[in-house]
Amino acid sequence: MLIGFVIGDADRRRHHLISAAPASVLTPQPATRNLLPAGKTLPTRNANGKTGPGQQLCLLPEQRVAADVRPKGASVTDTLTGRTALVTGAGRGIGRAIAVGLAQAGADVLVTARSAGELAETVAAIGAAGKGAGHALAVAADLAADRQRQRVIQAGLARGRVDVLVNNAATVEPLGASASIGAGDLRQAFELNVIAPAALAAAVVPGMLAAGWGRIVNVSSGIAANPGSMIGGNAYAATKAALEAHSRNLAAELAGSGVTVNVYRPGGVDTAMQAWIRSQDPARIGAALHERFQRSYAEGSLLTPGASAAALLGHLLGPDSARTGAIWDGAGTVSAGDDGAPGPARRAAAAGSGAGRPDR
């Protein structure tokens, strides 16, 4: 099984595991601590020690055998063997679990994140994904930077085309009172949370259209449905709402082409982002926001990354696979989208009714 990295100069300076050689394919060393016996699974626990119902252990860096994070008991109708997937924000958490699940479904997976060290762990997890799993390639990049984003695009298209794109990378910053947020910080949030997913989609859609098949999933947040629920997170709410609008508009544009675009709201998940928010000074991000994240953690109500990833894969690989313009909220569906009616017909109907016209 091929596992490797494509890296840049900045990554070599930051991570001792990267050699000073030109950007190339590197093979990480296998982990040697706390190995699980072959086929062994354990109950999944949140970071506060509480076990989630019916969940399986998501691969940790020290394990050699990856738990299967594909949906259990779901009707899987799609196989990804022979296809290439690109997952952003794949260095840890939900992104890593999604990447492993796609590999277990047979896809070759290109993973990207800012940290080469975290990507090494993801590549190792895919390498341990078992018989029939796809290959892994990693590109360390900051997707908010156009030049680095282009490096990811080039790596994906070098394989011929990208068949599955999961835009998971995001930032919750800047947090705090809206009047205290500078335009530069706000611009950076839109660059990563909105512009990067749109740019990646624009780059891979032509190949998908030529093949008559493609899947794009943009990972959003429940805040898009209730923006007022996260006071102090104005930038996050605005960018996720924009991402959902982009997704559904693009889905309508591509309807009937075989290329689907859907939104996934992962629910409250025990990720590094959540931990980071809990660690912040309440005076900076707002006491109410800080208390809300502390409470959800203390109550043990957060999902594991593996559980959330399995819910997404249940949609992507199951009966919902051909739907487009849907909003998937965990294992449920907020908006079902459509089943692929021809794009021109849908556009004509919308134009005739006046629905969806901008206010100005």
The residues that are catalytic are 236
* DSSP helix/strand/coil, 317: helix
Around 3, how many Cα atoms within 13 Å sit in the side-chain half-sphere?
19
What are the φ and ψ backbone dihedral angles of 316, each rounded to 5 degrees? Answer: -70, -35
Helices 146-157, 196-211: crossing angle, 10 deg rounding:
20
Alpha carbon separation from 224 to 162, 241, 252, 263, 267 (Å, rounded): 28, 5, 19, 11, 12
What are the backbone dihedrals phi and psi of residue 326, each rounded to the nearest 5 degrees, phi first? -85, 155
Whether residue 352 contacts residue 339, with contact meaning beta carbons closer than 8 Å, is answered with no
What whole-number distance in Å separates Cα of residue 94 and Cα of residue 239?
19
Q: Tokens for 17? A: 């595991």
Q: How far apart are CA 118 and CA 7, in angstroms?
A: 13
Distance CA 109, CA 329 (A): 24
> How far, in Å, CA of 263 to CA of 333, rounded?
10
Residue 146 CA, distance from chain mean position: 19
